[in-house]
């Protein structure tokens, strides 16, 4: 996720970190080049039909509305994913306080908290589909070969809690409270998996990109009569807006990815480590800082 203050005037013109321009540079250049070619053909041979701008106004309004709808749908996914991970962080902080109340065995408390952190990193690894992740290889290498490592981590925690309850190390109210806490964690986990496994319908992306390119490629016919050689400039501006917005929604619809606009899952996991460190009797690690304005 990009972390930076409001850009200054010169940054608006030249900032590339966090900009969508590098992702659409080649399609944008192609649209501008084709537009320039169409103007050239019209200037020398008069081959380009001149169309009034009213149809393109209606077309552009319809395209803008559809892009807006898709952008809202993508942002809803991104924001819901952020709320779910905020809930996971809050649950782990509450869990650290609850185990100190209901579990007198310090060794068991520490094992549960460490396993909870392992679960969080395994969940991050699964959502990002990482094949090699140093953090999970260090914390829970024995779980990486399981079919569903995050669930395996939760299963180990529940086995410890069940054993503690059976031995009388925890009363019924404590067992119910901790079980409810892990139920909340599992619910947030399932919500994240639902978002990761259910992308926006492909037909949305297909329709958006087809109509955007069609609009940009036909637009010179409406502009060449009045704008002349400035037509490629105006077509480039329109293409930048529409193609850029389409690409932004594509990134936002995958909130757990590794793009610049994806959620900072590493930073959230580090926040959990900082919060649980005092309960584990460990020094708190430093929070992650943005690197070149990017917080991973």
Tens digits of residue pLDDT in 98-123: 999 999 999 999 999 999 999 999 99
Residue 285 and residue 270 in contact, taking contact as beta carbons nearer than 8 Å: yes
Mean pLDDT for the stretch of residues 191-214: 88
Q: What is the pLDDT of residues 282-295, one digit of tens each?
A: 999 999 888 876 77
Residue with tokens 């619809």: 253
Mean pLDDT for the stretch of residues 129-155: 89
| CA pair distance 28, 109, nearest whole angstrom | 56
Residue 254 and residue 262 in contact, taking contact as beta carbons nearer than 8 Å: yes
Q: What is the pLDDT of residues 265-277, one digit of tens each?
A: 999 999 999 999 9
Ordered by start, the domain boundaries in the chain are 9-280
> What rounded mean pLDDT belongs to the chain?
88
| CA pair distance 237, 190, nearest whole angstrom | 42
Helix (H, G, I), strand (E, B) or coil at 294: strand
Nearest C-alpha neighbor of 230 from the set 219, 240, 241? 219
């Amino acid at each position: 996720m990009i972390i930076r203050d409001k850009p200054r005037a010169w940054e608006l013109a030249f900032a590339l970190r966090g900009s969508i321009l590098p992702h659409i540079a080649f399609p944008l250049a192609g649209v501008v080049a084709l537009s320039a070619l169409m103007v050239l053909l019209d200037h020398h041979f008069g081959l380009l039909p001149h169309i009034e701008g009213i149809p393109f106004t209606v077309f552009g309004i319809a395209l803008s509305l559809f892009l807006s709808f898709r952008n809202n749908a993508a942002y809803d996914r991104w924001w819901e994913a952020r709320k779910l991970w905020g809930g996971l962080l809050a649950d782990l902080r509450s869990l650290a306080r609850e185990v100190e109340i209901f579990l007198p065995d310090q060794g068991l408390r520490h094992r549960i908290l460490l396993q909870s952190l392992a679960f969080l990193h395994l969940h991050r690894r699964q959502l990002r589909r990482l094949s090699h992740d140093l953090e999970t290889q260090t914390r829970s290498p024995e779980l990486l070969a399981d079919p569903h490592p995050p669930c395996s981590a939760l299963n180990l925690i529940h086995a410890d809690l069940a054993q503690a309850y059976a031995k009388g190390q925890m009363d019924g109210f404590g067992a119910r409270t901790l079980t409810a806490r892990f139920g909340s964690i599992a619910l947030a986990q399932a919500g994240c998996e639902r978002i990761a496994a259910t992308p926006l319908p492909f037909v949305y992306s297909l329709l958006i990109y087809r109509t955007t390119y069609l609009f940009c490629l036909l637009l010179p016919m409406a502009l060449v009569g009045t704008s002349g050689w400035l037509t490629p400039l105006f077509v480039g501006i329109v293409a930048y807006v529409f193609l850029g917005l389409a690409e932004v929604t594509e990134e936002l619809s995958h909130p757990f990815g590794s793009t610049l606009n994806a959620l900072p899952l590493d930073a959230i996991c580090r926040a959990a480590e900082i919060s649980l460190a005092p309960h584990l009797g460990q020094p708190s690690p430093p929070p992650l800082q943005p690197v070149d304005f990017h917080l991973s």
